[in-house]
Amino acid sequence: MITVSTSNEAYHHGNLRDALLAAGLSALEGAEGKAPSLRELARAVGVSPTAVYRHFPDKHALDKALALEGLQLLGQEQAEAAAKVGGGSAGFAETGRAYVRFALAHPALFRLMFTQGEPIEHAGHADPARELLTANTRALAGDPEKAETLALQAWSIAHGLAMLMLDGRIPADDALIERMLDTRSLFPQSG
């Protein structure tokens, strides 16, 4: 999704925006990642702070672009995880585990993804993680209203668990994730 030129110069043509996003993601990724400042990213890319404003109206826009990248990544990892167990009800449960694993693996990025005020929207096509969720629940529950409730409940519990673990309220323990996201005990009406 991001392409950076190999030439060390010529930022003067086209790729500053992507270079900034790449620098931002690499600052955010990893368990020790933290939200980078605008000036920090400009430095990392070898450009003056104000150059950033040629590509983003303000810091918030930069953050939103980074959040969008994060959402794509999350959706991707979830889809892969679900595919690995063969989809269906097991795949649904797996997307939940992948969600929490993603949050724990990229805490700063995950936080950024959800702190941007409005939900992020790529021009036209929406959040892939969310699309996956609604597709899964529609397949599991017959009634569409039941499906939506199930989707939001599943999302809430995964998100809450992720947040509470990130915030140090609940030990970030793999076995605990397993126990908490047991769909059979949680949502007995489905699957």
Partner DNA sequence: GACCCTATGTTTACAGCGTTCACTTTAACC
Partner DNA sequence: GGTTAAAGTGAACGCTGTAAACATAGGGTC
Instruction: Count the neighbouring beta carbons within 10 Å of the beta carbon of residue 100.
Output: 25
**Cα 50 to Cα 139: distance, rounded to the nearest angstrom:** 49
Binding of residue 39 to a second copy (CB under 8 A): no
**Residue 15 Cα distances to 39, 68, 166, angstroms:** 18, 18, 34
Q: Which positions from 133 to 152 touch a second copy by CB under 8 A, shown as an x/- string?
A: ----------------x--x
SS3 106: coil
**Cα 177 to Cα 167: distance, rounded to the nearest angstrom:** 15
Q: Which two tokens stand for residue 157?
A: 């519990």
Query: Binding partner of residue 48 among a second copy, DNA, none, CB under 5 to 8 Å per kind?
Result: DNA
The answer to whether 171 and 180 have CB atoms below 8 angstroms apart is no
Judged by CB, which is closer to a second copy: 44, or 61?
A: 61
Binding of residue 114 to DNA (CB under 7 A): no
Judged by CB, which is closer to a second copy: 105, or 163?
A: 163
The answer to whether 99 and 162 have CB atoms below 8 angstroms apart is yes
| Of 26, 48, 115, 156, the one binding DNA by CB under 7 A | 48
In the chain, the amino acid numbered 137 is T
Binding of residue 159 to a second copy (CB under 8 A): yes
Binding of residue 39 to DNA (CB under 7 A): yes
Judged by CB, which is closer to DNA: 7, or 185?
A: 7
Query: Binding partner of residue 22 among DNA, a second copy, none, CB under 5 to 8 Å per kind?
Result: none
The answer to whether 146 and 101 have CB atoms below 8 angstroms apart is no
Q: From the CB of 29, what's the least distance to DNA, in Å?
A: 18
Applying CB under 8 A, which part among 55-63, 75-83, 135-143, 162-170 lies near a second copy? Answer: 162-170
Residues in contact with a second copy by the rule CB under 8 A: 114-119, 149, 152-153, 155-164, 167-170, 176, 179-180, 185-189
